[in-house]
Amino acid sequence: MSLKGKVVVITGASSGIGEACAYEFAKRGANVVLAARQYVKLCEITQDIHQKYKVKALAVQTDVSVEDDCKHLMLQTIATFGQIDILVNNAGISMRALFKDLDLEVLKKVMDINFWGTVYCTKYAINELLNRSGSVVGISSIAGFKGLPGRTGYSASKFAVNGFFESLRIENLKNDLHVMVACPGFTASNIRNVALNNSAQPQGESSMVEEKMMSSQEVAIRIVDGVEARKRQLIMTGQGKLTVTLQKFIPKFLDKMVFNHFKKEKDPLIS
């Protein structure tokens, strides 16, 4: 699949994996539509992309937890470019708190962004994607295969995303719609800095060693390669592949491995 001249909508495009994907798609000749809440940052990125790669780039201020914003994003894309070929549902937020200690608003916010944001955007792009035999991508996580301690809301949202895309793929087996779920594993980005604490406020400092993680740029290259190859699923790390395999065959043993891993993070929630 050649990306030259394709129109790609990317949510959560003001930083991290979303921003890196915007540059990588543009580098390969695609026109890009960047969506996020930080409009000024989006405008800076779109201008830089246009200057570097001579493709068209559009910034649309979008809060994916708001259904009307997602509808407007797709209508604006069609009004500007006349088509949508690829949708990358990347916008997401994490959380870090034990369930017994948290305000339920934490789970509501995480689900509104990670799950409902994906559903809204996909709903308002689906007809265009079907008409063009396009691609819809969900940026999920290994947390969508294995529940992680202190991340009940995050894991729940990613399990929901995985199930949503699994059903969507089967519904459209005869329609040539490409559905891909990408699970990057731990990625060096600001997602842990803005992760919600038990009172639904950004926690600030990351609880993990970011330097040892895969970069957003590496993740973006794999995602764009996956779109070009129309892959079904991307699990990008050895740790992730091992987790998925062990969950199938020896989940009880994996429970202990996950517990031991997370009790070693900074300021651990479990011990």
Q: How many CB atoms lie within 10 A of CB 29?
A: 14
Of the pLDDT bands very low, low, confident and very high (cuts 50, 70, 90), residue 1 is: confident
Q: Give me the pLDDT at residue 53, please.
A: 98
Of the pLDDT bands very low, low, confident and very high (cuts 50, 70, 90), residue 190 is: low
pLDDT for 215 beyond 70: yes
> Which pLDDT tens digit goes with each residue over 66-76?
999 999 999 99
User: Which whole number is the average pLDDT over 168-189?
Assistant: 90
What's the CATH number of domain 7-238, 3.30.2090.10, 3.30.2310.20, 3.40.50.720, 3.40.190.10? Answer: 3.40.50.720
> Which pLDDT tens digit goes with each residue over 119-164?
999 999 999 999 999 999 999 999 999 999 999 999 999 999 999 9
Q: Are 18 and 90 in contact (CB under 8 A)?
A: yes
> Which pLDDT tens digit goes with each residue over 88-113?
999 999 999 999 999 999 999 999 99
Q: Give me the pLDDT at residue 186, please.
A: 75
Of the pLDDT bands very low, low, confident and very high (cuts 50, 70, 90), residue 207 is: low
What DSSP string describes the chain? Answer: ---TT-EEEEESTTSHHHHHHHHHHHHTT-EEEEEES-HHHHHHHHHHHHHHH---EEEEE--TTSHHHHHHHHHHHHHHHS---EEEE-----B---GGGS-HHHHHHHHIIIIIHHHHHHHHHHHHHHHTT-EEEEE--GGGTS--TT-HHHHHHHHHHHHHHHHHHHHTTTTT-EEEEEE--SEESSTTTS-B-TTSSB--S-SS-GGGSEEHHHHHHHHHHHHHHT-SEEE-SHHHHHHHHHHHH-HHHHHHHHHHHHTTSSS-S--
> Which pLDDT tens digit goes with each residue over 39-65?
999 999 999 999 999 999 999 999 999
Question: Among candidates 17, 33, 34, 6, which has minimal Cα distance to 221?
Answer: 17
pTM of the model: 0.93
Beta bridge partners of 188: 215
pLDDT for 224 beyond 80: yes
pLDDT for 204 beyond 70: no
Q: Give me the pLDDT at residue 213, please.
A: 72
Q: Give me the pLDDT at residue 209, please.
A: 57
pLDDT for 210 beyond 60: no
Catalytic residue IDs: 154
